[in-house]
Structure 1
Amino acid sequence: MNTPPAARGPAPGTAVVVGAGVAGLATALGLRRAGWRVTVLERRTRLERYGTAFGIHPAAQAALDRLGAQVGDVLRRRSVPYRRAEIRTPDGSRLARLPLERIEKKAGRPELLVSRPYVIDALVQALRSWGDVPLRLGEPAGDIAALRAAHDLVVGADGINSAVRTATFGTRSRPRRAGTVAWIGTAGFESPVHGETWGRGRFFGLTPVEPGRTNWYATAPEATTADELRALFAGWHDPVPRILEETDPAGWIRYEIRHLHPALPSFVREGRVALVGDAAHAMTPNLGQGACTALLDAEALTRAVARNGGPEGLTAALRDYDAERRRAAQRVAFASRTLHRLMTTRHTRTRDTLLRCLP
């Protein structure tokens, strides 16, 4: 059972969280656990349950546990450990091994892969168990100034096209195209290999997601249809062509990869507004850290708010949050963008030679 913390000091404040993705739901949960009155606004009429697998790094798993142990427990039951994966060439030759074993040894727990809908459902269930957190679907943010006037804290968790960010920080930092189109889907069988295959200007990834299913993702800028995508990967190693042939394109998702650029000078503004997740640092998906950084943002922000008391401590709380998360998250975003360039280069000889030298 969720029990609000014992009342200490000033009365709790009021917060509105704009956006009901992973970042927004996790932030709302953390603020409610800190005793705040929270409302969540989501412009879509239903929660986004599309997509495939999230990789949850051990640090993000620990953040989930701090936000609410029941959420971490639910996701561990629905996830699979990610323990072995390799980077290959299109003919199947190994270039390098992903450092999953080192991650597990250092953290004492493996990276986990879990279907996106399970993450959303677990967070919603935990939030609704409080019984007093409105989740208003089909309600856009509207006038951000009005939200600021009506609440002690406004949290922008509304993604790469964040209305909160635009209204608060302007348009200098905005979505930029990475020059690549991505495809994602789920195959109804388990792949015998996991990891990524890097070709000339395109790549293909395979991860487990749950028993009997495989998460896959691909980039191929020149492909605009399913048939074109299949043709581009037809000569690659097994099971890449088989996955594309045996999955229904109706279940595939195609999207243009974008990222936020230039980096924001701050994740907070005027002691009243904070950005989390993609609203703060949308990145290319190459490191698979989008969900992890969102969870780390949410936990750090709500921990800072809880530590600094009620509304009168918000300025200090947001300053602490920005100091803890901004540079760390922006380093991940920069590294992901750099990796994107490496993975999609057409000059593969030097790249592949360097990869073969990795331990």
Structure 2
Amino acid sequence: MSTAIVVGAGIGGVTAAVALQRCGWQVSVLERAPELGEVGAGISVWPSAVAVLEELGVKGVEKAAVVSKPAGMRKPSGRWVLAAADFGVEIPVMIHRAQLHELITAEFGPAVTVRTGYTVTKISQDETGVTVNDELRADLVVAADGIRSVVRSTLYPEYGGPRYSGYTAYRGIADLEVDDGGGETWGRGRRFGFARLIHGRIYWYATANQPAGRGGDHAAVIAAEFGDWHDPIPKLLAGTENVLHSDIYDLGLPLVPFVQGRVVLLGDAAHAMTPDLGRGACSAIEDAGALARQLRETPEVTTALSQYDAERRPATTKLVKRSRVIGRVGQLENPLVRALRDGLFTIGGKLAGLRRR
């Protein structure tokens, strides 16, 4: 039986483990944290990723989310700039990260073993396999160890790695009902978005231009920045017990090859992007599906891995670029440029609505 080691047990890593298991591989998952699980708030799962999860047998992630009220883009005053319905956009499933993680790991069978509290510090390989920390050996290693991947830095020490986007993010979950379809509100160098999770409660996120590494009372900062914006934003902030904070980074372009020998990069380790498209975790899920498909359809492992790289690196490079552009446009501070941006969005939405009708 073919063997694989998956480094990292986030969304991408556990999806890869399930995918390889379904291909008949014996899989060992190595996780640095002392316990298996996910932290964070909400996550958007787009239809393409839902399809991969369904193919892997993951149950409980619905194909569609229902928005009962208008959603789209607004100004801090509450004035609508763009309605999502005008563009006929896909609606993702909104789910808590921990819940999605549990749904995926529920599919672990006897072929998957998990080792927590394990830190990978060394990778070496030859024509027949890969050795981790001079003690573990497998036919394949899948590096799903995040944006600051130890495996990636080992394979490509010359690569610059993560770059700061110029803005930071706050996230939370409000345990209350609101009569609003959600969407995003764009202000001066600040944005606020929210959506309903599939089992109730409201997931919200906010961004603000500021230097990296700034600390402080996150709840107080977010209240000062967004407390006077349109309803229901103040209610969401008041109904949140725990505010999460993270500076936003992505990977510099061009991305490094996702494959070197029998070591594969997946998810943020390969193509970390800003969250502006909401596609980061979905791309990791799609990586896992593509990797399994290539291994299933192509008997020769190195050929299958080359095909995985050829499929996923161009696709995710586009997402990294698009997400970066949207982030820059959304975080604009110049009032004249912002007014032009909002006007173009409004006109574009009206034209798209007319074409759809």
TM-score (norm 2): 0.88
For residue 39 of structure 1, the aligned residue among 28, 34, 40 is 28
Distance 1:185 1:100, change over 3 A: farther
Residue type of the partner of 1:259? D
Match of 2:354 in 1: none
Distance 1:17 1:81 in 2: 35
Match of 1:220 in 2: 208
Distance 1:99 1:42 in 2: 41
Distance 1:162 1:76, change over 3 A: same
- Answer with 79-88 or 162-171: which moved more: 79-88
Are residue 183 (structure 1) and residue 164 (structure 2) matched? no
User: What stretches of structure 2 of length at least 5 have no aligned partner?
Assistant: 132-136, 350-357
User: Which stretches of structure 1, 4 residues or longer, exceed 6 Å deviation after superposition?
Assistant: none
Structure number with higher helix proportion: 1
Superposed displacement of residue 82, structure 1: 5.1
Distance 1:153 1:211, change over 3 A: closer
Match of 2:222 in 1: 229
Deviations 1:49-76 (A, max 9, x none): 22122111111111112222xx1x3222
For residue 20 of structure 1, the aligned residue among 3, 9, 12 is 9
Distance 1:293 1:76 in 2: 18
Are residue 141 (structure 1) and residue 129 (structure 2) matched? no
Distance 1:172 1:139, change over 3 A: same
Structure 2 SS opposite 1:326: helix
Residue type of the partner of 2:250? H
Are residue 54 (structure 1) and residue 43 (structure 2) matched? yes
Distance 2:254 2:28 in 1: 28
Aligned length: 331
Q: Percent identity?
A: 38
Contact 1:263 1:281 in 2 (8 A): no
Residue type of the partner of 1:153? L
Superposed displacement of residue 99, structure 1: 5.7
Contact 2:21 2:111 in 1 (8 A): no
Match of 1:305 in 2: 295
Superposed displacement of residue 305, structure 1: 0.8
Structure 1 SS opposite 2:124: helix
TM-score (norm 1): 0.87
Are residue 269 (structure 1) and residue 260 (structure 2) matched? yes
Residue type of the partner of 1:244? L
Residue type of the partner of 1:148? V
Structure 2 SS opposite 1:76: coil
Deviations 1:13-56 (A, max 9, x none): 11100000111111111111101111000011123422122111
Distance 1:36 1:82, change over 3 A: farther
Give matches, 1:148-297, under 5 Å.
Answer: 148-149=130-131, 150-193=137-180, 194-222=182-210, 224-225=216-217, 226-248=219-241, 251-270=242-261, 272-297=262-287
Give matches, 1:323-342, under 5 Å.
Answer: 323-342=310-329
